[in-house]
Amino acid sequence: MLHTPAYAAKAAKAPIEPYEIIRREPGAHDVLIDILYCGICHSDIHQARDEWGGSIFPMVPGHEIVGTVVRTGGHVTKWKVGDTVGVGCFIDSCRECEACREGEEQFCEEGMSVTYNGYERDGKTPTYGGYSTRITVNEDYVLRIPSGMPLERVAPLLCAGITTYSPLKHFGVKPGDEVAILGLGGLGHMGVKIAKAMGARVTVLSHSPGKRDDALALGADDFVVTSNENSFRENEKRFNFILDTVSAMHDYNACLGLLKRDGTMVLVGIPEPVPLSAAPLVMQRRHLSGSLIGGIRETQEMLDFCAEHGVLSDVEVIPVQKVNEAYERVLKSDVRYRFVIDIASLKETHP
């Protein structure tokens, strides 16, 4: 057993505070990873506060993990001590269903084993995330971090990066396409960068006029203020593709009207139920879909793509002791654009 320092929520809405967890010793096909950085995803807040229901406490959040392999099991072939690796939103799956066989483990028919707030494949051992000093993971669910990338800026790619890359790739965004990114937060800012790297002409749709300069600095070609009542009429039938990253309630029907004939809008945010009319879809043969992170193969593809094109997350690095403050700032949209925990701050207080 590996006694491991961590930060955990001990109950719904309780502050994140120091805690000790037990990590397993690496099995034959496991690697032990010394965690260096872990991003803070908005879903960490939802789950730590049990806003989606079903939270498991005590909870150690964190699924945007970058670190170094420090020990390998006897049959590990993919990794060696010293490798720089990542762990994303899940750490195992059934491996046998159609989705797993096709490299779409996030859609595992038995349910993926999420990195935290879930269970190992035995169905009873809780999973704990990256707000900790180390993690033990099967070698098949570990990702290679390309050399030369600043690791603190890579960590959010393991969730925000793949969440936006996957639908852009799957639905065939290509050079010259008119692409809109709805919402400019942790997900949205990655969507802008990745769509631009794919050669699209990118427009940010935001209700906040103050984000215009940020959007253009991130690489967007245009910015549309959705709180302006004329914006939807002026941009009707403009876009081939809309990536909707917004988790707050908003008008899907108005957004669908911005699509060209045969255009596609993909949801990656999960707001409260939103009314949907058939007319905007039927009249222009538009498509409305959703997307959930990506499989291991596609996540590795995303990391390699980002390395090739110089795509990285914009981050604010914090010590773990400021995690509760960071949560409150996320809720106020007071971060540009992702908090990342420097796990060295946890190691210093718990050698």
Residue 305 lies in a domain: no
Considering the domain architecture, whether residues 139 and 176 belong to the same structural domain is answered as: no
Please report, for the domain that includes residue 77, its CATH number.
3.90.180.10
Give me the pLDDT at residue 271, please.
87
Considering the domain architecture, whether residues 11 and 126 belong to the same structural domain is answered as: yes
Give me the pLDDT at residue 351, please.
55
Residue 272 lies in a domain: yes
Residue 41 lies in a domain: yes
Q: What is the pLDDT along the chain (351 residues), one digit of tens a residue?
A: 899 999 999 999 999 999 999 999 999 999 999 999 999 999 999 999 999 999 999 999 999 999 999 999 999 999 999 999 999 999 999 999 999 999 999 999 999 999 999 999 999 999 999 999 999 999 999 999 999 999 999 999 999 999 999 999 999 999 999 999 999 999 999 999 999 999 999 999 999 999 999 999 999 999 999 999 899 999 999 999 999 999 989 999 999 999 999 999 999 998 888 899 999 999 999 999 999 999 999 999 999 999 999 999 999 999 999 999 999 999 999 999 999 999 999 988 765
Give me the pLDDT at residue 234, please.
97
Considering the domain architecture, whether residues 135 and 244 belong to the same structural domain is answered as: no
Considering the domain architecture, whether residues 200 and 183 belong to the same structural domain is answered as: yes
Considering the domain architecture, whether residues 38 and 180 belong to the same structural domain is answered as: no
Residue 211 lies in a domain: yes
Please report, for the domain that includes residue 235, its CATH number.
3.40.50.720
Give me the pLDDT at residue 349, please.
76
Considering the domain architecture, whether residues 148 and 82 belong to the same structural domain is answered as: yes
Give me the pLDDT at residue 284, please.
97
CA-nearest of 253, 55, 63 to 160 is 63
Sign of CA dihedral 33, 35, 41, 46: positive
Considering the domain architecture, whether residues 234 and 327 belong to the same structural domain is answered as: no
Interstrand relation of 338-342 and 239-244 (parallel, antiparallel or unpaired) = unpaired
CA-nearest of 278, 289, 233 to 257 is 233
Cβ–Cβ < 8 Å for 188, 240? no
Q: Which two tokens stand for residue 292?
A: 């959930």
Give me the pLDDT at residue 293, please.
98
Give me the pLDDT at residue 229, please.
83
Residue 301 lies in a domain: no
DSSP-derived secondary structure for 290-319: E-----HHHHHHHHHHHHHHT----EEEEE
ω into 126 cis (within 30 of 0): no
Considering the domain architecture, whether residues 34 and 58 belong to the same structural domain is answered as: yes
Residue 300 lies in a domain: no
Considering the domain architecture, whether residues 128 and 243 belong to the same structural domain is answered as: no
Give me the pLDDT at residue 171, please.
98
Give me the pLDDT at residue 47, please.
96
Residue 306 lies in a domain: no
Considering the domain architecture, whether residues 132 and 207 belong to the same structural domain is answered as: no
Domain of 8 in residue numbering reads as 2-156+314-349
Considering the domain architecture, whether residues 79 and 23 belong to the same structural domain is answered as: yes
Residue 11 lies in a domain: yes
Using the 3D structure, point to which of 290, 306, 334 is the last residue of a domain: 290
**137 φ, ψ to 5°?**
-140, 145
Provide the number of structural domains found in the chain: 2
Considering the domain architecture, whether residues 152 and 166 belong to the same structural domain is answered as: no
Using the 3D structure, point to which of 241, 275, 290 is the last residue of a domain: 290
- pTM here is 0.96
